[in-house]
Structure 1
């Protein structure tokens, strides 16, 4: 047992110059041996972050980090209630349909102030094979999805051990206001035309709506979805309209999609493709109308999608006003 007299004697000895020098030397040696604690880095206005591996820098077109080799870490934030649904869907069997080949079982991942798990494996895309990690985590601000992809050719530049260490630094901080999150988006909106921002996700996408509901699972309110491309996109000159039609027809929760109007025009150095059409909502069987504006600029594009009940033509006209005012930073 250590009593008070022992502690008093120890402190008295530490006041001697020779012992103070010895202690200082030991502290310095330990600092050289032990790695510094890696502090998480957060995207602007984001509440989910981590300490990225060496050589990875904050991404310009999405929430996360990128490496010159093509490796990336994508951070996606979701509401707290998304945890139950997401955690059930991310199993080795469920993600196999997407081409993600999981090795082993999902493993618990420690998260400060929360919990999580990670899946490890590989996936092929665009002629490359990636080593892949997907972590699903939750904390007080909400649910997070962290996706790490490293080309096999970059295994030495972004080694697996460095990725594993980074995943163990995942952290949450207090959520920023919607206004602050909108201000941090990689594009600006000059005219909201009566719509209001509701939620920012993935650090680069925005949902606006018209009406009192923030959550509208049945799609009763007119809404706008703004999403930029993730990184560079190889769209051949003259192929912009083809891509626009393809993504228009693939709209989620839609069947019997029909294009009723199409326009292409230049906007400075960009090409703008606008489509109008109709579809049937698969959730409610209601007839709906939709407008899509895609702005192709260099190796990037920006997509603005407006949808509303087929009888609300004015809502779609104002969605096109919003689209005309959006510009990439």
Structure 2
């Protein structure tokens, strides 16, 4: 004799299997219809990232992404307290002086774990015209600046729609240690010559100092600043000295800048221009001595700037040892 319960059990199992199959089919169908959730890509040891447009890959010479067409996305990280200053200065009127022609005004930009705004427009640089986006964002780790440039003629390879989608994926994550940030820089330093790393900025810049202070606005400690170019057009052959002198003279808060010595050499296939000179720091009213070494190689350059009180000339000599040991990865 067969009772009712023994017949109901197989049918109950069948109903459960059918329901599971229906749910799985529904889920799979929705996955095929709905777009996949974008996952931000972070530069090594970086706390600011985004999902780049198709065809863009992590850049080797700067923190961000690049495309074979010349399009680039540059990620710059700054301290949290930079938000007020940066957001106040990034207005259409203020940026017009830099050549960035903003269309419309600032637009709010949602940011995972923070907030921000974006400005859209165009800019001419080195004879090329670019569609340009600048996003200023902030989150718990700090303030971020995301700059996107797409040269005319590359709009089909990196369309504006893809750039807008990428900006909506900007996100923050926890900050890496200073040692990890230094290890992720696009260059190595073979000889620190008594200096120590104090701060990594903009994802690829490094400040080294000698002394107990990490931040030294009074310039009491000798310091070195290492900065590679950020994907700009290559410096034309023969223009290296002029570019080096222009950058030496345009130091922030520097007046009465004087170049006292220039040396031009080669290193492998690179052109090396070293300048020495003096200036007065307008903020603190003190004279300073400086040395600048610039290495021009292919379509990029590396700049190593050393500062010290004029009485500490030996510190500048050691800064030049550091410059001689810096190599791009």
With normalisation by structure 1, the TM-score equals 0.92
For the residues of structure 1 that align with 2:27 and 2:116, how far apart are their CA atoms? 35
CA contact (8 A) 2:74 2:230 kept: no
Deviation string, structure 1 residues 249-301 (Cα, Å, up to 9, x no partner): 22222111111112222223322221111111111221110001112223322
CA contact (8 A) 2:41 2:49 kept: yes
2:158 alignment partner in structure 1: 158
Is 138-147 or 23-32 further displaced after alignment? 23-32
Residues 305-324 of structure 1 aligned to structure 2 (within 5 Å): 305-324=305-324
Cα shift at 1:239? 3.3
Cα shift at 1:89? 0.7
1:6 alignment partner in structure 2: none
Cα shift at 1:168? 1.0
CA pair 237-132 structure 1, distance change in 2 beyond 3 A = closer
Cα shift at 1:69? 1.4
- Aligned to 2:153, the other structure's residue is in SS state helix
Whichever of the two has the greater Rg, that structure is 2
Deviation string, structure 1 residues 99-131 (Cα, Å, up to 9, x no partner): 111112211111122111111111111222211
1:214 alignment partner in structure 2: 214
For the residues of structure 2 that align with 1:299 and 1:108, how far apart are their CA atoms? 35
CA RMSD in angstroms, aligned pairs only: 1.7
Cα shift at 1:316? 0.8
Divergent runs of 4+, >6 A = none
Gapped regions of structure 2 (runs ≥ 5): 1-11
CA pair 125-233 structure 1, distance change in 2 beyond 3 A = closer
Gapped regions of structure 1 (runs ≥ 5): 1-11
Query: Is 1:204 equivalent to 2:204 in the alignment?
Result: yes
Cα shift at 1:15? 4.8
The total of aligned residue pairs comes to: 318
Query: Is 1:265 equivalent to 2:265 in the alignment?
Result: yes
Cα shift at 1:220? 2.6
CA pair 120-232 structure 1, distance change in 2 beyond 3 A = closer
CA pair 233-128 structure 1, distance change in 2 beyond 3 A = closer
Is 242-251 or 22-31 further displaced after alignment? 242-251
Residues 86-97 of structure 1 aligned to structure 2 (within 5 Å): 86-97=86-97
